[in-house]
Amino acid sequence: MHKLPVIAIVGRPNVGKSSLLNTLARRRISIVDPTAGTTRDRVSTIVEHRDAYFELVDTGGLGIEDSDRLTEHVEAQIRYAVAEANLILFIVDNQAGVQPLDVQVAEMLRRIDKPVILVANKADNRNMDVQVGEFYSLGFGDPQPTSAAHKRGIEELLDRVMEYVGYSEAAPIQPVMRLAVVGKRNVGKSTFINALAGHERVIVSEVPGTTRDSIDVRFERDGQTFVAIDTAGVRKKGKFSSDIEFYSFSRAQWSIRRADVALLFIDATQPITEVDKKLARYVADLYKPMAIVVSKWDLVEDKNKDDSEAYQKYLGDALPGIEYAPIALTAAKDERGVWEVVDLALELFRQSQIRVSTSELNKALRKAIEARQPMGAFGGKIPKFYYLSQVAVQPPTVVAFVNDPGLLAEDYRRFMLNRLREILPYGEVPIRLFFRSHHRDSKLEE
């Protein structure tokens, strides 16, 4: 696997590190908020500049006490980022001048043998460039004036970065599959992510809401590259305590939309909540393949076969409408079931890409009709099926051509969908089934 150069963004809180990452990446990735300590984990993205690529990593602010007493965890993530980096961008606030915390960061960076570019952010216009001279005292040569907010000095900074890391035209390896890891707060998502990564890639804590950003974590299995997206824990909108929580929830939704498969984490030690149900419905409404991952199964007192079957029935009753989604029981702390979940997700992704021939679909249609003949919605004219045709994949999308879609009762539509799911080779993923009049100018009706 070709490894891209890694550039880490480091600095004290509120100097604009996350804004700079978003500007360099040309899209919003890190949450930007005036609250000090918003970023906790390492947030990374791949940046392209002049047909060359590198990985850019945002880190938390150094030298401030985290509001949830996670300072040691945040600083550990910064150390990981610095250790893996080929180059460090040391960000300071041009408008605030040199601060004591800047000096502390400079002292830390001088102890490591890594090249550093000093970036004087918030230099919003040329008149502010004269202020960068103050930062020579930090000992890292010429400061690069930039303004993430006004996109000023960005091209010059990128050119300096490429001078250090070189122009490698090797494009990043595209992942085989993207997994969105979603669930309510403190359900074990980050522990699962770290088990995949093989090290503490994201902070794991008993403090609810530890993860705030959506974090892409690349990992390999059997020579293939995957991306797991760790998302912030979700709770009821009415209980959001800050803008940060709102942005985190929005990122979780966006992560689901851009994933190939969603892993919905459920805490085995807690009852199903309204948040669990809403997340399941959100994934289902997007027709995304989904596996229900039951975490902390090791903490359940009895784990015999009867218990697991009873629990799966409980989940089926508590989460109606997603009966097709397979269930996996895991204990991520000892990595039990972790790789089985990845294999399960791969199987779901494979199913979502299957295309069934029209002849096979019509065999399935005949079996369904033999099992139950269609009746008119109002006891009048009888619906007549002509044939089925698959028109798309991801999700598998099937059109049923009938004499009049309006004649089909709702319960028969559900029966037909469930029967096709039993017969066709993509029974564990959502299927879009449309009913269309045999006349070509008629509209699709789901």
User: Identity (one letter) of the amino acid at 80?
Assistant: Y
Indicate the residue among 321, 352, 383 that finishes a domain: 352
Alpha helix (H) residue ranges in 262-337? 274-285, 305-318
pLDDT in tens, 187-201: 888 788 888 876 655
| Residue whose C-alpha is closest to residue 364's, from 288, 433, 439, 289 | 433
Average pLDDT over all residues of the chain: 81
Please report the pLDDT score of residue 87 as a whole number. 93
> CA gyration radius for the chain?
26
Alpha helix (H) residue ranges in 37-153? 71-84, 100-110
Q: Tell me how far apart the alpha carbons of residues 204 and 211 are, in angstroms, rounded to a whole number.
A: 8
What tokens appear for 6 in the block?
């890694």
Matching residue, tokens 């293939």: 224
Mean per-residue pLDDT, 396-415: 92
- Are 156 and 267 contained in the same domain? no
Say if 171 falls within a structural domain. no
Grade residue 211 by pLDDT with cuts at 50, 70 and 90: very low
Greater confidence (243 vs 139) lies with 139
Say if 161 falls within a structural domain. yes
Mean per-residue pLDDT, 12-21: 86
Grade residue 204 by pLDDT with cuts at 50, 70 and 90: very low
Greater confidence (13 vs 77) lies with 13
Which structural domain, as residue segments, surrounds residue 421? 358-437
Please determine, for residue 391, whether its predicted confidence score (pLDDT) is greater than 90. yes
Q: How many domains does the chain have?
A: 3
- Are 157 and 242 contained in the same domain? no
| Residue whose C-alpha is closest to residue 433's, from 407, 414, 408 | 414
Q: Tell me how far apart the alpha carbons of residues 202 and 204 are, in angstroms, rounded to a whole number.
A: 6
Beta bridge partners of 224: 221
Beta bridge partners of 47: 54
pLDDT in tens, 320-344: 889 999 999 887 566 678 889 999 9
- Are 76 and 136 contained in the same domain? yes
Please report the pLDDT score of residue 394 as a whole number. 95
- Are 97 and 57 contained in the same domain? yes
Indicate the residue among 136, 165, 194 that finishes a domain: 165
Indicate the residue among 295, 329, 352 that finishes a domain: 352
pLDDT in tens, 108-126: 889 888 999 999 999 999 8
Please report the pLDDT score of residue 115 as a whole number. 93
Angle separating helix axes 189-197 and 338-352, nearest 10 degrees: 90
